[in-house]
């Protein structure tokens, strides 16, 4: 890695201050995050606990999910003594899909899951005067690697300016369990799915391109293509101005 990532302790302090200020400005009292069993949500949860103490909530939202993800999420809960709830969305998902009365494209079916999770998080957040914290990092946001109005639907993005390598460094600083740090990143949309497999490149390659515009022509071309076709995900819906 020929680029320098920022100091983890300083990042943690800065993000905690930012979270506190944003929550206070919104007239809220804390934050909520969906706990997937992955590194990004573990880091956000740990930062919320440091910033707000018991005025935060982590939520396990299985939706036909791999049981190992729940085990990993509970490992994070135990490591940081996190307030948590579990809401099983599997029955809701099944009824919702059946209601269409026709087969959906596999990706359309998969994207229903993060959109159901977004609804659940906002219902719990509004009840408690919390803000919903997303878990997207800089690489995922640039690539459009999130579901529009799903995991992309949130109030705050604490990790939105962090490279994946910085998220890992922050996780080590916060003492996220090694098992979570070393786990292959996955959105958990279907069995065997991984972030890097779906994007067709590693996070290290994406980080290198973002930080130093490094990478072979194939990687650079793919990143630029994914960035361009996902631009609509990073913007408010365009408004037609009639003439």
pTM value surpassing 0.75: yes
pLDDT for residue 1 is more than 60: no
Residue count of the chain: 243
* Averaged pLDDT, 36-58: 97
167-182 pLDDT, tens digit each: 999 999 999 999 999 9
* Averaged pLDDT, 107-131: 97
pLDDT for residue 4 is more than 60: yes
Give me the pLDDT at residue 198, please. 80
Specify whether 40 is catalytic. Answer: yes
- HEC profile for the chain? CCCCCCCHHHHHHHHHHHHHHHHHHCCCCEEEEECCCCHHHHHHHHHHHHHHCCCEEEEECCCCCCHHHHHHHHHHHHHHCCCEEECCCHHHHHHHHHHCCCCCCHHHHHHHHHHHHHHHHHHHHHHHCEEEECCCCHHHHHHCCCCCCCCCCCCECCCCCCCHHHHHHHHHHHCCCHHHHCCCCCCCCCCCCCHHHHHCCCHHHHHHHHHHCCCCHHHHHHHHHHHHHCHHHHCCCCCCCCC
For residue 60, which phi and psi values (nearest 5 degrees)? -90, 125
Q: Which of 69, 72, 140, 205 is catalytic?
A: 140
- Average pLDDT, rounded, for the chain: 94
227-241 pLDDT, tens digit each: 999 999 999 999 999
Q: In which band, very low, low, confident or very high, does the pLDDT at 3 lie, cut at 50, 70 and 90?
A: low
Give me the pLDDT at residue 214, please. 84
pLDDT for residue 120 is more than 90: yes
* Averaged pLDDT, 72-80: 98
8-234: CATH class: alpha beta
* Averaged pLDDT, 77-98: 98
Work out the widest C-alpha separation in the chain, in whole angstroms: 59
Q: Which of 7, 16, 17, 40 is catalytic?
A: 40
183-233 pLDDT, tens digit each: 887 766 667 777 787 888 899 999 999 998 888 899 999 999 999 999 999
Who wins on pLDDT, 28 or 3?
28
- 51-85 as b/e, with b when 16 or more CB fall inside 10 Å? bbeebbbbbbbbbbbbeebbebbbebbebbebbbe
pLDDT for residue 156 is more than 60: yes
Specify whether 140 is catalytic. Answer: yes
């Amino acid at each position: 890695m020929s680029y320098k990532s920022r100091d983890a302790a300083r990042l943690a302090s800065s993000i905690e201050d930012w979270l506190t200020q944003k929550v206070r400005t919104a007239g809220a009292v804390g934050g909520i995050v969906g706990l997937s069993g992955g590194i990004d949500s573990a880091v956000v949860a740990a930062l919320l606990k440091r910033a707000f103490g018991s005025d935060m909530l982590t939520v396990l939202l299985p939706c036909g999910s791999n049981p190992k993800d729940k085990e990993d999420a509970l490992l994070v809960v135990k490591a940081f003594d996190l307030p948590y709830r579990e809401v099983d969305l599997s029955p809701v998902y099944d009824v919702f899909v059946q209601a269409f009365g026709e087969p959906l494209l596999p990706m359309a079916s998969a994207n229903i899951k993060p959109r159901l999770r977004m609804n659940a998080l906002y219902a719990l957040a509004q009840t408690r005067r919390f803000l919903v914290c997303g878990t997207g990092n800089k690489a995922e946001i640039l690539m459009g690697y999130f579901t529009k109005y799903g995991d992309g639907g949130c109030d705050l993005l604490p990790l939105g300016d962090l490279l994946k390598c910085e998220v890992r460094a922050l996780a080590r600083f916060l003492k996220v369990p090694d098992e979570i740090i070393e786990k292959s990143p996955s959105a958990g949309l279907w069995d065997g799915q991984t972030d890097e497999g779906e994007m067709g490149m590693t996070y290290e390659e994406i980080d290198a391109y973002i930080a130093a515009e490094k990478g072979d022509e194939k990687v650079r071309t793919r990143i630029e293509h994914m960035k361009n076709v996902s631009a609509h995900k990073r913007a408010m819906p365009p408004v037609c101005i009639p003439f």
